[in-house]
Every structure is written in structure tokens, then in C-alpha cells.
Amino acid sequence: MAETVAFLGAGGTMGHGMAARIALAGLPVRAWDRSREKAEPLAGPGVEVLDTAAEALSGATVLVTMLPDADAVLAVAGGALEQAGEDLVWAQMSTIGPDGIERCAQLAAERGVTLVDAPVQGTKQPAEEGKLVVMASGPEAVRERLAPIFGALATKTVWAGEVGAGTRLKMATNTWLAASVEGVAEALALTEGAGLDPRLFLEVLSGGPLDMPYMEMKADAMIERSFAPSFQLSLATKDVRLASELAEREGLDLPLLRAVHERFEQAAREHGHEDVAAAFLASAPKAAS
């Protein structure tokens, strides 16, 4: 029997595309967002847009949360889970950090639902195309039930172990993402600051062992000063903060992560609503920025 999916956060940058992909795979979706007008375009065959999170969860067998932070997830899910039916599986797919997923685990235990910790790697376009990577962790008994949902969303699902492992893995991958963005930002700033055409930097790397598609995409945005949000800098900064907190919690000395966190915080104060590539503006030659 096909699962019925309650999707909370269906109007967000990531959630909209994810909810649409689940429906496209033939699974009924009950969609909710704090701003109903953002979720309304999903309404149609296979998708019902509801006024409240509790209404969305009524009759659902799987709950997916895709919200900005742990406080939002807990505030929304806390009330909605009072409507949870027997055998409900909660796939928590937001990036909320170790403390956040531990709070979710406590809530799930109190409500008697099965929690799967399943943050994703990817941004707006991969979400719309079903090309995310899911970093899942949770009971083996429910993995088969979630396979059609994760399969609709992602090209790959990596199961990392017990609840919490997926979130810790996401912290590691976000550390690499943030370091990559800051690395190309500073390389381009140095290229421009030294009086060179920044596209020469890309020409040297293109097709070689140092090339990577994500770097090229963000470098183009930086060179063009075009920062339409695919992954908002404010959210990237939140994710780097969560990674920094995990490093501190584990007693790790990660100076690069600390430096990137500081620079992202600086850039986000003015450009948080723009794409993560706008972190470049904190390093760009002032005459050119």
C-alpha cells in the first residue's frame, strides 16, 4: 500500500520541489506551509494543500519536515504529532544539528512515533529534479517504507546508522561545502585584486583535477555578482554554526571551520537573503564589489 505523506514546509526553497517530486512518484501528498500561498501552486492531482499542520498530518502514514531550524521543526511538529496515527514514520529532513535531532528524538518517543533522521545534500535545482543525496539514519525496520520517498527525492541514499548519525554526517558535508565556497571566493578575490580577469582562474582549473561543478557554478555567480538564492547565505551560516558547535562538542580544533564561520557571519549581516555565493562580497576587492 502506498504511503500518504504529510509534508510540512512545502512552500520553502527546498520543500516545494521535494513535495512535488514525491507527488510525481505517485504518492499522495498532504502539504502545509506557514505561508499557504507559497504551497498553493502545488495543489492539484496527488497534492492537497491544508491550512494547518495538524490537518496535513491527519490520515498520513509518513511525516516529512523540511523547515529552517530546530525551533521551527519542534514548534510545528509538536502540535501536529498529537494527530499521529499508529505506525507513523517521521522523516526529519531539515538541517537542525545534533542538539536539534536529539530534541526531535525525545518528542518522537513522547508521541510514540518512529523517527528517521534524514537531512539532504543539495539545493533548489537538485530538489526540483530529484537529484538530492539523503543522509539517513534510523531503524532498519522502516527503511523499506521510506525507500519510494527517498527514491523520488534523491539519486542516492546513504544510511549512516542510528538516529543522529545522518545529522552528524550532514555537518561534515556542510563543512566541505562552506570551505569550498570560501576557498573559491578568496581565490577569485585574489585574482581580481591582482589585476587579472577572474575567468582566467576558471580556465586554468577547467577539466583538471582541481575542477568541480559546484565551484564553477558559484564562481560564475561571484564573477557576475548575481546572487539569486539557491541556498540562502543565512541558512548556510546557520549550518556552519551547527557544524562549529559539533566540533566544539567533540573537542575538535578546526581552525578553517572557525574562520569560515566568522566570514559567513560577517557576510550574512548584509547579504543573508542572497545566495551563499554572496559570501564572496566579504572578500571582493572593494572597488569591484
pLDDT at 286: 80
> pLDDT grade, residue 83 (50/70/90)?
confident
pLDDT at 84: 79
Task: Give ranges for CATH 1.10.1040.10 in the chain.
Answer: 168-282
Instruction: Examine the pLDDT at 82 and tell me if it is beyond 90.
Output: no
Instruction: Tell me what the mean pLDDT of segment 234-255 comes to.
Output: 97
Q: What is the tens place of the pLDDT at every residue in 38-74?
A: 999 999 999 999 999 999 999 899 999 999 999 999 9
> pLDDT grade, residue 97 (50/70/90)?
very high
How much helix, strand and coil, in percent to the nearest 5, is found in the chain? 55, 15, 30
Q: What percent of the chain has pLDDT over 70?
A: 99
Which residue shows C-alpha cell 552528524? 168
SS3 call for 204: helix
Instruction: Tell me what the mean pLDDT of segment 89-115 comes to.
Output: 96
Task: Give ranges for CATH 3.40.50.720 in the chain.
Answer: 5-161
What is the widest separation between alpha-carbon atoms in the chain? 65
Beta-carbon contacts of 143 under 8 Å, excluding residues fewer than 6 positions away, are 136, 159
Instruction: Tell me what the mean pLDDT of segment 207-229 comes to.
Output: 96
Task: Determine the CATH number of domain 168-282.
Answer: 1.10.1040.10
Task: Determine the CATH number of domain 5-161.
Answer: 3.40.50.720
Instruction: Examine the pLDDT at 288 and tell me if it is beyond 60.
Output: no
For the chain, give the mean pLDDT: 95
pLDDT at 1: 67
